[in-house]
């Protein structure tokens, strides 16, 4: 068996390799010819998984729109089921994932979403058996309940409204305050013409953003000059620090990460452009 199995603390990629070995002995990294063949060359880490449904007690429930689950290489599982942000420790051994210490934000949700979240949160505190087949992943609890997931295709950088959810500083990640006014939640939209505009947490801004390969070079931003409460100004300073000069970016499913050369960065999620007003009038609203 591959040595990746022993790297349980950091490598969820072992899940893929061992799951493939269990279902298709001796296949190596070939995808094979059968329709049900497990593809051992499709990684689990570095992939954003869209949660399609959850089956509890034999009853299947479609997941709320935008439901996602991701395993990072540092032993954490991160999920969202339409309302709150959830994370848990993730330990991988063979085709088993042991999730522990799940934590969740405490935002109010509609009844349907809240019911799904509670069931999902309960499943994220125990052992799951993983089965990967092509771009489909099934996670089954010890009690027989299960998640059905699909590999999420990456969103386009340009033309997508990116809502900033995380502020990065080296190895430290901090969530954007959940109680920011709706019109001051930081967000970015990149244009095909090499520009970027949005809101940095207090003020609206626009500027140059030249994209070459995996690098975005930001020019000095211009924007409004309002003063806001300190929590909003602190968020704004962190966002603008990440959008200064050259930065690398990655897109995994609907998640964008931008990191500048000094380690400052932001994590953002693709959101509908109609949220919080239209983008074409945003600057006028801020100046007014």
- What confidence category does residue 212 fall into, taking pLDDT thresholds of 50, 70 and 90? very high
Range picked from 24-28, 38-42, 188-192 for highest mean pLDDT: 188-192
Whether 27 shows a pLDDT value over 50: the answer reads no
Whether 33 shows a pLDDT value over 50: the answer reads no
Question: Reduced to 3 states, what is the DSSP secondary structure of residue 161?
Answer: strand
In this structure, is the dihedral angle defined by the CA atoms of residues 43, 89, 260 and 205, taken in order, positive or negative?
A: positive
Residue 20, pLDDT score: 34
Helix (H) or strand (E) holding 282: helix 282-287
Residue 160, pLDDT score: 96
Alpha carbon distance 61, 58 (integer Å): 10
Whether 256 shows a pLDDT value over 90: the answer reads yes
Whether 191 shows a pLDDT value over 60: the answer reads yes
- pTM, full prediction: 0.57
Model pLDDT for residues 64-109, shown as the tens digit of each residue: 988 989 888 788 888 989 888 899 998 877 788 889 999 988 888 8
Residue 44, pLDDT score: 63
Query: Rounded to an integer, what is the distance from CA 254 to the centroid of its chain?
Result: 6
Question: Reduced to 3 states, what is the DSSP secondary structure of residue 286?
Answer: helix
Residue 51, pLDDT score: 94
In 3D space, the residue among 174, 180, 173, 224 whose CA is nearest the CA of residue 198 turns out to be 224
In eight-state DSSP terms, residue 6 is G
Residue 266, pLDDT score: 96
Alpha carbon distance 206, 198 (integer Å): 7
Q: CA of 124: how far to CAs of 13, 69, 91, 260, in Å?
A: 19, 11, 12, 33
Residue 112, pLDDT score: 93
Q: Stretch 236-253: mean pLDDT, rounded?
A: 93
Alpha carbon distance 160, 171 (integer Å): 26
Residue 159, pLDDT score: 95
Q: CA triplet 50, 56, 57: central angle to 5 degrees?
A: 160
Quick count: other Cβ atoms within 10 Å of Cβ 208? 16
Alpha carbon distance 194, 281 (integer Å): 20
Residue 149, pLDDT score: 93
Alpha carbon distance 192, 157 (integer Å): 9
Quick count: other Cβ atoms within 10 Å of Cβ 143? 11
Q: Stretch 146-171: mean pLDDT, rounded?
A: 92
Alpha carbon distance 141, 130 (integer Å): 9
Q: Stretch 198-226: mean pLDDT, rounded?
A: 95
Query: Rounded to an integer, what is the distance from CA 205 to the centroid of its chain?
Result: 24
Alpha carbon distance 39, 168 (integer Å): 34
Mean confidence (pLDDT) of the chain: 79
Helix (H) or strand (E) holding 111: helix 111-123
Q: Stretch 226-242: mean pLDDT, rounded?
A: 94
User: In b/e form, how buried is each residue of 149-181, taking b as 16+ CB within 10 angstroms?
Assistant: bebbeebebeebbbbbbbbbeeeeeeebeeebe
Q: Stretch 8-35: mean pLDDT, rounded?
A: 33
- Residue 209 makes CB contacts below 8 A (sequence gap 6+) with 190, 191, 194, 195, 196, 216, 217, 218, 219, 243
Alpha carbon distance 208, 235 (integer Å): 21
In this structure, is the dihedral angle defined by the CA atoms of residues 237, 239, 245 and 246, taken in order, positive or negative?
A: positive
């Amino acid at each position: 068996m591959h040595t990746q199995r022993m790297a349980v603390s950091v490598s969820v990629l072992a899940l893929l390799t061992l799951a493939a070995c269990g279902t298709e002995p001796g296949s190596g990294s070939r995808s094979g010819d059968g329709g049900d063949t497990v593809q051992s060359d499709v990684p689990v880490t570095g992939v954003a998984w869209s949660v399609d449904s959850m089956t509890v007690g034999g009853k299947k429930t479609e997941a709320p729109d935008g439901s996602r689950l991701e395993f990072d290489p540092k032993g954490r599982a991160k999920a969202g089921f339409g309302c709150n942000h959830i994370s848990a420790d993730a330990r991988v051994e063979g085709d088993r994932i042991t999730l522990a210490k799940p934590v969740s934000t405490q935002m109010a949700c509609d009844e349907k979403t809240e019911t799904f979240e509670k069931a999902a949160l309960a499943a994220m505190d125990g052992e799951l058996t993983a089965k990967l087949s092509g771009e489909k992943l099934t996670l089954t609890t010890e009690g027989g309940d299960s998640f059905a997931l699909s590999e999420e295709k990456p969103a386009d950088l340009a033309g997508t409204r990116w809502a900033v959810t995380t502020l990065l500083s080296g190895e430290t990640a901090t969530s954007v305050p959940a109680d920011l006014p709706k019109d001051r939640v930081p967000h970015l939209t990149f244009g095909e013409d090499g520009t970027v505009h949005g809101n940095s947490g207090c003020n609206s801004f626009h500027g140059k953003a030249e994209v070459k390969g995996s690098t975005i070079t930001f020019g000095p931003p211009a924007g409004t000059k309002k003063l806001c409460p300190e929590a909003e100004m602190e968020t704004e300073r962190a966002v603008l620090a990440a959008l200064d000069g050259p930065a690398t970016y990655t897109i995994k499913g609907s998640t964008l990460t931008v990191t500048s050369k000094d380690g400052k960065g932001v994590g953002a999620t693709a959101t509908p452009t109609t949220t919080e007003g239209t983008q074409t009038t945003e600057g006028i609203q801020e100046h007014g």
